[in-house]
Amino acid sequence: MKTLQEFYEEVKTSDDLKKSLAEAAKSGKITEFLKAHDCDATADELKEFVAGKTAQDKPVELNDEELENVAGGGTDECSDYCTNYCSDITCCC
């Protein structure tokens, strides 16, 4: 059996699976769809899982001071910000 994470990764890479999942959702048969694709989860569990993924993907909002530093203030606080929050290897300051 696949975990929800494994199923999610599979769906992300397949347009056909995305389309089929959307159709299953419209017809209220997500749990059946999951079982047919070797994932032992319910529609509610999938909904909760996807909501968690969506929350992780939301951008972090910066306060005015952080924005000023990123925009060119270049203080030590900016270096701390880059160390803790920048996902790129190069500093954003």
pLDDT in tens, 45-90: 998 888 887 766 666 666 676 666 555 544 444 555 555 555 444 4
Please state the rounded mean pLDDT for residues 20-44.
91
Taking 60 as the threshold, does the pLDDT of residue 92 lie above it? Answer: no
Q: Which spans in the chain are helix H?
A: 4-12, 15-26, 30-36, 43-57, 64-68, 76-85
Taking 70 as the threshold, does the pLDDT of residue 29 lie above it? Answer: yes
- 78 contacts: CB under 8 Å, gap ≥ 6: 69, 70, 91, 93
Q: Cα separation of 5 and 45, whole Å?
A: 11
Q: Cα separation of 12 and 14, whole Å?
A: 6
What is the pTM for the complete model shown? 0.57
